A and B are shown apart, each in its own frame.
Chain A
Amino acid sequence: MNLSNHIPILIIAIPLLAAFLVPLISRINKKATGILTTLALSVSLLLTIVLAVKILTVGPQVYVFGATSPSLTLPSGLKFPIRIMFQIDAMSIFMGLITAVVSFLGATYSLSFTKKYDGVDKYYSLLLLLTVGIFGMEFTGDIFNFFVFLEIASIASVALISFRGVDLGEPAEAGFKYMVVSSVSALMVLFAIGIFYGEYDVLNIAAIASVIKYSQLDKIALGLLMPVLAMKAGAVPMHMWTPDAYSEAPAPITMMLVAASQASLYALFRVVFSLYNISLNTLTVGWIIIIFGLLSMFIGVTMAIIQKDIKRLMAYHAISQTGYMLLGVGVGLAVLANPEALKNYGITAMEGGIFHIMNHAMYKGLLFLTAGALFFRTGTRDLNKMGGLAHYMKYTTIFFIIGAAAIAGLPPFNGFASKLLIYESVYKFNPLLSIIAMVVSILTLASFVKVFHSAFLGPKLPQFKEVKEVPRSMVFAMAVLSCIIIFFGLFPDLIVKNLVHPAVMSLIEQLQYTGTVLGGM
């Protein structure tokens, strides 16, 4: 029994087992639940890093459930896979790394943050299940399995968003909205799966991609999948759930919700690039994605400027930053059929967009955690009621400055690195788009200067006399994120070359994706 072959499943199965154990453990000892959660997620993080090293050196990994060997995709003479499999390439593991880091830090942060809550065991159980759902969405190579994990992630996030619904009405309301959105979108995904199944009689993504004909029905399936996944990712025409859900969830959960919506974004890219790829009318679909991105950027930032609630403001910024990713990858898709333009600036644009996913998860997670720290000590999210907090919470102030500078795209932080890639490549595609992106960046900076001024600066306020620095585990989580942000900002070339570029290439090259499952073609 060679455990190193089983790493892909262990990454998911260990948090899942821990999630089942947590309710039983809490009968014996309530405090042990948090420690068990953190332990399970740290094991998962370690295994993800090991798997990432393996994938980036050896190549894509396949794990077939229930077969006689983990890499046996096609048993004896079949032309199509019959079992569920995990298919992990550079792009999947890129997203997996984000999820692992974010979930581990979320659990660490929760150790202190959930002291005020009762029913902590349910909280940790749901947190683990949410992690499992996100990991599954990113790793799976089977389209129905994707639907199942989408449901796990959305039901767990609904339960966590409405976790404070016992005492307050707003979390329950936000949870209801998100539940309606996510169940409708999951059912539309299931309808699209039915269309694929009826046409080709396979459920494996790579197998569908190898036979797809782009007929009328495939167009309808794309027309169902794209808006629905964009809605789950929080792009603008369908963004109404995002501010509510992000602002009402507990702060560590908001950070994980960012990762969950990015998993939907990943699924959108997977559908467009790996499932359809060149058979699409790439220019049209690319422009649709670019327009989604532009609307998200602009409307997100304009709505953010007028907000009074700190987490709501950050949620609108999350929408606006999603626009950058859609813009970068959309430009790459628009020139996919044109090898020269793709080589010239398409790949760079996609690198910018994909790199921005990771950067966004890090700095937006940090900002939500600082907002959570402010809420933890002051008990309010209203910017007008805060002030002078820099006197009491030194570390939190520093972390907030780092996060705000990163989101506004100031050097030497990571936001600058990915935004620069997007600006320079999009400028070659269409100068106007690049200028809009820069304007949005300036507006973002203005908005965060306002937040910094009203929350941290100013005289000491009498009602915050008791406020002191947050507990150690919360500081630890924020410090790790800040270190990652600064590291990525100082050495962007290293990350782009080793992590982002393989991810982009694995998206673009469809034959490599199908070949992993179906053999050399």
Chain B
Amino acid sequence: MKRVGVFLCWCGSNIAGTVDVGRVAEKVRLLPGVVYVEENKYTCSEPGQASIMKAIKEHDLERVVVASCSPRLHEPTFRRTLEAAGMNPYHLEMANIREHCSWVHTDREEATAKAFDIVRMAVAKALRNEALQPGRISIEKKALVLGGGIAGIQAALDIADAGHQVILVEREPTIGGRMAQLDKTFPTLDCSSCILTPKMVDCAKHPNITLYTYSELEKVEGYIGNFNVTIRKKARGVDEALCTGCGLCQTKCPVKVDSEFDVGVGKRKAIYTPFPQAVPNKPVIDKENCRYHKTGKCRICERVCEAKAIRFDQEDTIIEEKVGAIVVATGFDLFDLETYGEYGYGLYPDVISSLQFERLINASGPTEGKIRRPSDQEVPRSVAFVLCVGSRDDQKGVSYCSRACCMYSVKHATQYREKVKDGRAFVFYMDIRTPGKAYEEFYRRSSVDYGVEYIRGRPSKIYQKGKKLVVRAEDTLLGRPVEVEVDMVVLAPAMVPKHDAAKMAQTLGVSYDGYGFLNEAHPKLRPVETNTAGIYLAGACQGPKDIPDTVAQAGAAAAKVAALFSQDELTTEPMVARVDEALCSGCLWCKPVCPYKAIEAKTITERVAGRTVTREVASVNVGLCQGCGACTVACRDGAMNLAGFTNDQVLAEVDDLLADLRPACGV
């Protein structure tokens, strides 16, 4: 039987005030296995811990029970004490005689009796404690960043600058994402591409960054430090190695279609780069619209290409990479404005979205930055900006606030007033939310210096009247209906999760909320981690954000990855599930109940009656297991057990407790 030392804490009068610690000590001394009992005024104090270490040596204790406060408070403390005394820290058991006893009971007799029971149960468990060693898993110091928007770019650069390899995967032909579509950024009004494109170039040039554009994630296997990812690189139709990016193919291509990048307000060719500063600056062939792919005739681009880089028959390539961490920065989509039939989006050409407006005022946009309304290319003399189209609308939209719309609409109105000196800008809003550095000032300036007119009220209808659009709303401040005639209406759509966010989440094995935004591990304390170790979040895939927040979160995610990569090995909690292979029948009913996909089948060979047989057993991945123990209950023959909370230990706690209170077997 193991030699147990029990250390009873008075916690000043916190425990001793209610529990007769001395009496408990007398009774504990008589328990089987207990060879040493000591009382301390404050066991957690320096002298308290010192005397534990002393006793361990003098009485060569093999197990230690500390009866004091909640283990949730001091378990780590006393484990360190044991370790310092050269004992395995998991030989500690704590008896919670404060929170669960002295603090909640008043009768000294009762409290003392209960305290003894609590200690006795701890002794019973301690006698069955085993030395546990934290597990170690190797770390592949290479990160995968999903999404090449500002979030992905920032995260990739920060990780790469920390000296680690990064694979940046972007679905579109170029990195840059939403920010590349923007003209200026609030509140400083500095040019979006001026601050973004250098970062894009850095990404492309960075020795530690491998760029896969026009590529998508297919499969993720493994666990923190050891993910195996499969990436599909879609056929560009262009040999990137040969292409010089001269752009001749694009000018010569006879096919013109709406540009996704310009959100329909501009055109592109069938072979194209989304925008001039695209990175990489290599075109792709859009097979749906390419004349050769449709009719088998044309091949003009091939003819004009001096680098001979055109590859009509190019096929997708599958790339497999091993990475140690994954940063998800897959961004967001915009709310479908046609949901609001009453606003006439898609019906009236001059009702456009904020993003379309960005393209219209963008110097490198289809109109070279001149604001002309789509219907007749006239300069609109008045523009109405409508906020919260989809946001904060339980009926037709989403309940949440998209956070960025107020500010960029303020920005749009300001920019419009700058460009059209005599124009009028109306902003229809529910509330103007300006929680950010210099945001409120920027908003104030828009009305004071630029005369933007704010009307508090959500428009009920927008309709055409001659060449004008009439916006009808109720001014909730004046409490009366208003009708404003304008030349153009700009709707600020809600930011919503990417259409395939849920699928992505399932591929990664991370959880997501009711909308489809990915869940952080903890809203306050672990905002960039996910519940799946080794997978981090950056940007709007986790929830609506503006650029500063996105960049901040990306940096945070990168820091987490760098911290992970700063170690050569990862130590894992030793209190995890383990399989007794001799017992395991290989039914694997433990597998479906594991929240962390930590259980897999494993084939073993053994000698049975002189012949070699192979069979399957369950095996636990200590890198994934978090020690919940669900599998142990699914396991009927007890082959699956949980270190630190073994079946044996729980049964002993029950038996020893009741053997005294309710003597069984007539003893």
Whether chain B is bound by chain A comes out as no
Chain B residues close to A by CB (< 8 Å): none
Chain A residues close to B by CB (< 8 Å): none
